[in-house]
Structure 1
Amino acid sequence: MKQIIQDLNNGNTYLEEVPVPFIQPNHILIQTTRSLVSLGTERMLVEFGKSNLFQKAMQQPDKVKEVLNKVKNEGLKPTINAVLNKLNEPLPLGYCNVGKVVAVGKGVDDISIGDRVASNGPHAEFVCVAKNLVAKIPENVSDEAATFTVIGSIGLQGIRLANPTFGETFVVIGLGLIGLMTAQLLKANGCKVIGFDFEPTKVELAKQFGIDAVNPSDGVDQVAYVNNATNNIGSDAVIITASNKSNEIISQSAKMSRKRGRIILVGVVGLDISRADFYEKELTFQVSCSYGPGRYDYGYEQKGIDYPLAFVRWTEKRNFETILHAISSNAICVEPLITEKVLLEDYQKIYSKMRVSKSIASIIVYPYNSNTPSHSIQINTNKFQKGEGVVGIIGAGNFTSAMILPCLKRNSAKLKYISSSTGLKGTILAKKYNISNSTTENDNIFKDKQVDLVIISTRHNTHAALTIEALKNGKNVFIEKPLALNKEELKQVIEVYNASGKTITVGFNRRFAPLALEMRNALGKSNTPMNIVATMNAGFIQSKVWIHDMEIGGGRIIGEACHFIDLITYLSGSKVKSVCMNALGTLPEENTDNASILLKYENGTNAVINYFANGSKAYSKERIEVYHQERTLILDNWRKLKGYGFNNFNFKSSGQDKGHQNQFNLLIESVKNGGDAIIPMSELVNTTLASFAAVESLKTGTWVNL
């Protein structure tokens, strides 16, 4: 299928051939018939892409600070690579999609195959959209009219925040697509509406809808105009749908408001607010978040968990349905907003002139294709043979693009497949790294007899099931940590592993880092007890991020602190026998990222892992201290290793190397030659059980024996 994407690195917009998305639980697969180009939002993305690196930085000063901290902490080269990797990620354009349902995922019960639906899907021939972002289209609403659903919902959410009452006077600043729909919705609410815009055609169109529309460039003083129209009372509320960096808009909005008026920001403007303007009138100001309640809530959008209607009357989905009803009942009129209709293959007619376009709404028309959609595309015709260490990769996220693929490229691994849920990222990476096939169907990898190794880099809740499927199909497996999220999953993995004759490797890369190897060598092989203190200044991650979801990410102890359990196992030459964990705060919580983990090892080693998320990003992210036989080793952030009391070791430094390259070099060599796993399975299981025990200890308040 074809999809329109934006290259943030050079600003080019192009039509990419990608596999059809894989249908996921609580999602709907839609064959697109029409989509609407949101010129305001998409113009901003295109212009950002076309700007140079310095201009991009100036537009995102908060990101510049993050980059500078990363340079200080990790060095210049890794930071540059991370920035370039981010800029090289493709950005799917579009969020106003209409089409016909061709498949429904598990958990979808209110939408059926064949239904016409509107969604926030991108500009693509097929889209896979979460069920709470999809609404059925009434029979009397055309596909073209329905493409205004999402845009209308953005305006509607701003109106809901303003809470209009019948007879109030509202001002809409900016009569672009969202502004024109907002003005119509306000009229439907029984409000008097004054609109301002500098574009004559938009002003004239607003007048056709019964809006008191004014062009300030005609010499009209906006504040005076509103005061005259309201008998010097001022507007009850102002909704800003304009996009302009000037602070003048927010200032004028305050000046034209009545006392205790409301100002709602839907667009993007300068926000240098005058305290006097707001203080004297006791104005309220609020920023509207996209389509409504549920936006950016992982549980609502991805898991399909709806808010109870009695407590949250209007959600994203219910706002979508409201706009469709308004179109169906002629409460608002959208056909006059359509400036042009363009076939998908002629998309550049829209995007090539976007910077100077005066269009209001551009509609993309999609060709009808009755053929069965393909979940795979071939990028090249490389030849492969069984036993060459042929690789199939599942997962095309940041870790795959920033770490796994560069490492595999350097050791010339044979890459036959990359699988991604949407198909887009996988295709871009396949072209960049000479991977033969991009797919959204994992079975293509599992069933291919030439594939020797499956690399799994997906969200944590999928790790165990994918590992089991790969082993059952006779594949060696590399699984980015963790191996499993609970004992039952781990038990199933072990059972299949024991019967498979294949190897499992978990991405515990730190034991392969050059400085970790130096530490192990300096400590020797006496197998005598040592004290180890490992501190990870992990950094804060917002609670809404999936890693914190115990069902999906497993929390940061199971999902990330396991790295240090494995490293200590490697350094001590022993296995964990009991665990105790204490967390920040007064009440034990199952999910924490501020905790100290105490580990007792079989050989008497005593270890502490301090996993903290409340430290400064300017401080070293990782630090290891080892105390052994009147000697001490201090490892600082994988860049400096200092020894005290050693006869043959004092100091060593290197670029920050956490062992990823060494691990993949050994892994590919092992798979090619049929050698043993590069980490013993018994240690992988022990580390995984220790991470489970840490969480159990926090809940029970006791030591837990493995």
Structure 2
Amino acid sequence: MKQLVQNLRTGQTLLEDIPIPQVGRGQVLIQTRRSLVSLGTERMLVEFGKANLIDKVRQQPGRVKQVFEKMQADGIRPTIDAVFRKLDQPIPLGYCNVGTVLAVGQDVTDIRVGDRVASNGPHAEVVCVPRNLVARVPNNVSDDEAVFTVVGAIGLHGIRRVNPTFGETVVVIGLGLIGLLTAELLRLNGCRVIGLDVDETKLKLAQQRGITVFNSNHTDPVKAVLTLTNQAGADGADGVIITASTKGDTVIAQSAQMCRKQGRIVLVGVVGLNINRADFYKKEQTFQVSCSYGPGRYDDTYEQQGHDYPLPYVRWTENRNFETVLQQLSEGRLDVKPLITEIVPLADYDKIYSRIGEYNGIASLLSYSGEVELTPTIVLRETHYQSHTGTVGIIGAGNFTGAILLPALRAAKADVKIIASAGGLNATLLAKKFGITQSTTDYQQIINDPDINLCIITTRHNSHAQLTVEALQAGKHVFVEKPLAIYDHELAQIIAAQQVSGRVVMVGFNRRFSPYAQKMKALLGGQRSHQLPMNVVATMNAGFIPADSWVHDRRVGGGRILGEACHLVDLITFLTGSRVVSVSMNAMGQQPAETTDSASMLLRYENGSMGVINYFSNGSKAYAKERVEVYSQERTLILDNFRKLTAYGFRGFSTLSGRQDKGHTEQIKRLVQLIRAEGLNDREQALCEPLIPFGEIVNTTQVTLAAMRSLQEGRWVDVASIGGRVLPESHD
């Protein structure tokens, strides 16, 4: 199938071939019939992509501080690499879609295959959308009309924020597509509507719909509005809805000046927000920014998990706003056909996007032929692989995969045959960039492929255990990005599957492979370091992540202790040469929470060593992210952010510094070498020791799970009580 994307680095708008997405729980798979080009939003993306780097910086001033903070903490080169990686991630275009349902996921009971629906799906021949972002289209509403549903809901939600009553006067500033729809819906709501714009074509369309209009270039908009409303004794408009797009602050000031006392101003568009207090003070006006389609937007619980807000308490959700727009279309009260400027076949998309910066139309629609190859896998190039030679399949195509994993696999000269992602777009783009043979949305293609003997898993944390077990049962070696598991029973299942299969299980505990960590290990006595106990203090200045992020969800991300503090547990285990026997964790705050991201852990090791892990999210981003201190035999080692190692009391060595290196590339290099050793004879294989003994991997996972139990129960927890035990005959 084909999908439109925007490359933010090159400015190119591209029609990509990708596999069809897989329908998941609570989702709806839709074959597109029409999609609407949002000229405002998509114009901004296209113009941003075409701008040079300096202009990109000027358009994103808020990001500059973040860049300098990262540069100060991590260095210039890693920061530049991160910026360009971000720009290299193409953005799907579009969010107004109409099509026919091909399939529904588990828990979707009120939408059926064959239904015609409107959704916020992108410009793609097939889209997969959460149920609460899908609304059934009435039979008497055409595709060309129904495609306005989502953009109409944006205007409708802005109106609900203004909360107009019958007979009130509301000004709409900016008569583009959303502005015209907003003005029409206000008129249907019994309001007197005044429209302001500078484009005569748009003003004429609004006037034909019974809206009083003024050209802001030819008339003082404030005086015009005050004159009209003074005639009714109102001394200003009751409300203003701003649907314009401009960088200046003039619109905000004018809105306040043309509004009456206690007036309401709502921003739907994009304007400068340098608000002058004096403009609002005397009139006690309210100003509010409207969020997209309505309540539920950007709420994972509502959109991704499908939990609706109860109607008596949240009357108008984004889905109910969709249904309202469709109802108005069905009853013939809302007429959108005059707004259609052109209908262009998807293949001819460039007729719109090549001139989008100078485009003066209202609404452009993309039409779809209906002939789509419904395949979950596409072959990008023909290559033949031999099984048991280190051939790789990757499940997951997120930021870690593109930024860290694939460059490391390329450096290791690994043969990557298939990469999978749920939506198909990310996997396909990475496959093209790194020369991978196939892209798929069906991870079973990797599990069942006899050529693949190393399965790499980089999906969200709640799927790690299941995918690891499936890969082991299929006879694959596994590399799973941390954490290995987020629940005790999952760890037990992995241990059991590994004992039966005998395959290698490796977790992305990369810190021990850093040249700085390797030097620390050597200075502390190498493999004999376990003979003498030591104290290790490791601090991670993790940085703030919003509370509604999936990483904090115990059922999805497991929490940041499981997902990231595990790195420090493994590193201390490596340095001490011993394993943890018990753990105690305390967190900031008075009541034990299900997860935490500001906590201190105490670790007791078998050899008497003590570890302290401080994992904090409330520090400055300008400060280094990681710091490790080792105290042993009147000697001290200080590792600063994997950029500088300083030694005190070590004869012949004082410091090692250079580019930040957390060991990712070295770990992947050694892993690929280990897997390829399957083709060696028994004597050669015997020389290939496991990179991290499986028992240590299990111990680290047990530690973080035990830490969470310690937090809940307020006591030291025995690590051996978590998950299960590793038999001596395993890869340990």
- TM-score interval (norm. to shorter): over 0.9
Pairwise CA RMSD of aligned residues?
Answer: 0.9
**Worse-matched range after superposition: 53-62 or 226-235:** 226-235
Q: Is the 8 A contact 2:32 2:99 kept in 1?
A: yes
1:702 aligns with 2:715: yes
Mapped to 1, the partners of 2:222 and 2:636 lie a distance apart of 72
Counterpart residue identity of residue 190, structure 1: G
Matching of residue 582 in structure 1 with residue 586 in structure 2: yes
1:505 maps to which residue? Answer: 506
1:467 matched residue in structure 2: 468
- Structure 2 distance, partners of 1:445, 1:163, is 53
Q: State yes or no: 1:28 paired with 2:28.
A: yes
SS at match of 2:358: coil
Residue 548 of structure 2 is aligned to residue 549 of structure 1: no
- The residue aligned with 1:650 is 654
2:416 is aligned to 415
Alignment of 1:519-538 (within 5 A): 519-524=520-525, 525-527=528-530, 528-538=532-542
Q: What's the CA shift for 1:216?
A: 2.3
Q: What's the offset of the Cα at 1:676?
A: 4.5
CA contact (8 A) 1:503 1:676 kept: no
CA apart distance, 1:10: 1.1
Give per-residue Cα distances to partners, 1:223-271, cap 9 Å, x unaligned: 1111121126110000000001111111111111001100000001111
For the residue of structure 1 that corresponds to 2:141, the secondary structure is coil
Residue identity in the other structure for 1:583? A
- Structure 1 residue aligned with 2:224: 225
Aligned pair partner of 2:286 in 279, 284, 287? 284
Q: Distance in 2 between matches of 1:590 and 1:420?
A: 29
State the match for 1:247 in structure 2: 249
* Counterpart for residue 693 of structure 1: 706
Does residue 1:388 correspond to 2:389, yes or no?
A: yes
Distance in 1 separating the partners of 2:479 and 2:551: 20
Alignment of structure 1 residues 482-631 onto 2, 5 Å: 482-524=483-525, 525-527=528-530, 528-631=532-635
Distance change >3 Å, CA 436–CA 164, structure 1 → 2: same
1:630-641 equivalences under 5 Å are 630-641=634-645
Which segments of 5 or more consecutive residues in structure 1 lack a partner in the other structure? Answer: none
Q: How does 1:239-278 map to 2 (within 5 A)?
A: 239-278=241-280
- 1:43 is paired with a residue whose SS is helix
Q: Is the 2:392–2:454 contact (alpha carbons within 8 Å) kept by the matching residues of 1?
A: yes
- Contact preservation (8 Å) 1:394, 1:455: yes
2:130 aligns with: 130
Q: CA deviation at 1:28?
A: 0.7
Q: 2:348 aligns with which of 340, 346, 349?
A: 346
Helix, strand or coil for the counterpart of 1:671? helix
Letter in 1 for 2:172: V
Write the letter of the residue equivalent to 2:51. S
* Aligned residue runs from structure 1 range 21-60, under 5 A: 21-60=21-60
Bigger CA drift: 520-529 or 658-667?
Answer: 520-529
| Partner SS, residue 701 of structure 2 | helix
1:332 to 331, 334, 358: 334
Matched, 1:66 2:66: yes
Shift of 1:701: 0.5
Distance (whole Å) between structure 1 residues aligned to residue 717 and residue 650 of structure 2: 35
The residue aligned with 1:680 is 693
Give per-residue Cα distances to partners, 1:136-164, cap 9 Å, x unaligned.
11111111101000100100111001001
- Residue type at the aligned position of 2:334: I
* Inter-CA distance 447–526: structure 2 relative to 1 (3 Å threshold): closer
- Per-residue deviation, residues 576-614 of structure 1 (Å, max 9, x unmatched): 100000011122212110000000011111110000000
Q: Is the 8 A contact 2:529 2:576 kept in 1?
A: no
Question: Aligned equivalents of 2:382 and 2:241: distance in 1?
Answer: 55
SS of 1:380's partner is coil
Instruction: Give distance in 1, aligned partners of 2:654 and 2:580.
Output: 29
Q: Partners in 2 of 1:614 and 1:202 — Cα distance?
A: 49
For the structure 1 residues 238 and 526, does the alpha-carbon distance in structure 2 shift closer, same or farther, using more than 3 Å as the test? closer
Aligned positions of 1:160-179 closer than 5 A = 160-179=160-179
Distance, in Å, in 1 between the alignment partners of 2:583 and 2:653 is 32
Identify the range of structure 1 (432-441 vs 379-388) with the bigger mean alpha-carbon deviation: 379-388
SS at match of 2:364: strand
Inter-partner Cα distance in structure 2 for 1:44 and 1:620: 35
SS, match of residue 355 in structure 1: helix
Contact 1:152-1:182 at 8 Å conserved across structures: yes
**What secondary structure sits across from 2:356 in the alignment?**
coil
Once residues 289 and 438 of structure 1 are traced to their aligned partners in structure 2, the CA distance between those partners, rounded to angstroms, is 35
Matched residue type, 1:670: L
> Which whole-Å CA distance do the structure 1 matches of 2:646 and 2:40 have between them?
55
- Deviations, residues 515-563 of structure 1 (Å, cap 9, x unaligned): 0000100001142111110000000000111100100000000111011
Distance 1:676 1:486 in 2: 29
In the alignment, what sits opposite 1:86?
86
CA distance in 2, matches of 1:496, 1:343: 51
Deviation >3 Å, runs of 4+: none
| Partner residue in 1 for 2:682 | none
Q: Could you tell me how far apart the structure 1 residues matched to 2:275 and 2:586 are?
A: 45
Distance 1:150 1:633, change over 3 A: same
Query: What is the CA–CA distance in structure 1 between the aligned matches of 2:413 and 2:271, rounded to whole Å?
Result: 49
Aligned residue type for 2:707: A
Distance 1:658 1:526, change over 3 A: closer
Uncovered stretches (5+) of structure 2, i.e. residues with no partner: 679-687, 720-732
- C-alpha distance in 1 between matches for 2:82 and 2:131: 33
Mapped to 2, the partners of 1:332 and 1:212 lie a distance apart of 18
Q: In the alignment, is the contact (CA less than 8 A) between 2:521 and 2:529 conserved in 1? A: no
Corresponding residue for residue 726 of structure 2: none
Contact 1:504 1:677 in 2 (8 A): no
Is 1:215 the counterpart of 2:245? The answer is: no
Alignment of 1:84-123 (within 5 A): 84-123=84-123
Q: Secondary structure at the match of 2:47?
A: helix
SS in 1 for 2:630: strand
How far does the alpha carbon of each residue in 1:86-107 deviate from its partner, in whole angstroms, 9 at most, with x for none? 1111110000000000011112
Check conservation: 2:267, 2:290, Cα contact below 8 A: yes
State percent identity of aligned pairs. Answer: 58
Alignment-mate amino acid for residue 655 of structure 1: R
Question: Secondary structure in 1 aligned to 2:690?
Answer: coil
Give, in angstroms, the shift of residue 678 of structure 1: 1.3
**How far apart, CA to CA, are the structure 1 residues paired with 2:373 and 2:342?**
30
Distance 2:658 2:359 in 1: 52
Contact 1:137–1:146 (Cα < 8 Å) also in 2: yes
Q: Distance in 1 between matches of 2:416 and 2:178?
A: 46
Which whole-Å CA distance do the structure 1 matches of 2:271 and 2:461 have between them? 39
Letter matched to residue 219 of structure 2: V
Say if 1:395 and 1:418, in contact at 8 Å, map to a contact too.
yes
Aligned residues: 704
Taking the aligned partners of 2:76 and 2:577, their CA distance within structure 1 comes to: 34
Q: Which residue of 2 aligns with 1:293?
A: 295
Pairwise CA distance, 1:410: 1.1
Give, in whole Å, the separation in 2 of the partners of 1:245 and 1:429: 35
Shift in Å at residue 500 of structure 1? 0.8
